[in-house]
Amino acid sequence: MILGIAGRRVLVVGGSRGIGLECFREFQSEGCQVKSVSRTEGFDLMPEDGPRALVRVLEDWAPDIVIHALGGSQGVTRALSPVKDWEKVWRLNLGIAIDLNNSFIPAMQQNRWGRIIHISSNAPKIGIGYCPYVSAKAALDGYVKAMSKEFSKDGVIISALAPGIVHTPGRYFASLNEEEQEEYFNKYIPIHRFGSAQEVAKVVVFLASEHAAYMAGSIVRMDGGAR
């Protein structure tokens, strides 16, 4: 399938590992001009001026496609955590993306073409996960829907991919032994395995393609039928 994005400029936010890294590789294989940014690569977007600093660094390199792969719980696990801790989780999962989108969307509107894909989660749908994280991803899904109503008429297609558990070295689920994994699969995942970052990245690339022009506001679940 010809995706029609060869030569497009792609920015992967959170591209140093896992889903973000695989997205970086997949877009490169499609002949795109790809740049990535992450804290491990020396650029911290969490401070209030972080996104503005990134835009300044990019200068005239305005992306046609933006992949928001940042996310996580920030170690905030308690439902009764202080609001300032919830805000950290929301900042990572949504706030940074809002700041960057505010900077990049005007150029996409002018070009009458753009793709913004957010990595969400199936957590809001199945109700499993830490409350601050789940609420941030639920807000992200609402943001995607509402923003699409504003900008799809300009050729800017905003969508999200909501994966289930993706096997990532160093994360909790990667440390489960065979018996623990089997118990988890029996309880939650009918397909009986975790997803891979490579699988997710291929769907992200499709959402960025010409074939996804009618998918404005889509929240695509990819979780093995998780319940």
Active site residue 133: yes
Catalytic residue of the set 130, 133, 172, 184: 133
9-219 homologous superfamily: NAD(P)-binding Rossmann-like Domain (3.40.50.720)
What digits encode the pLDDT tens for the residues 205-227?
999 999 999 999 999 999 998 87
Alpha carbon distance 181, 192 (integer Å): 9
What digits encode the pLDDT tens for the residues 156-182?
999 999 999 897 766 666 667 888 888
Over 80: is that where the pLDDT of 194 sits?
yes
User: Within 10 A of 144 (CB to CB), how many other CB atoms are there?
Assistant: 23
Least Cα distance to 147 among 138, 137, 156 occurs for 156
Q: Which pLDDT score is estimated for 2?
A: 94
- Mean pLDDT of all residues in the chain? 94
Q: Which pLDDT score is estimated for 182?
A: 83
Over 90: is that where the pLDDT of 107 sits?
yes
User: Within 10 A of 201 (CB to CB), how many other CB atoms are there?
Assistant: 25
State which H helix or E strand residue 12 sits in. strand 9-13
For 36-60, b where at least 16 C-beta lie within 10 A, e where not — what string? bbbeeeeeebeeeebbeebbeebee
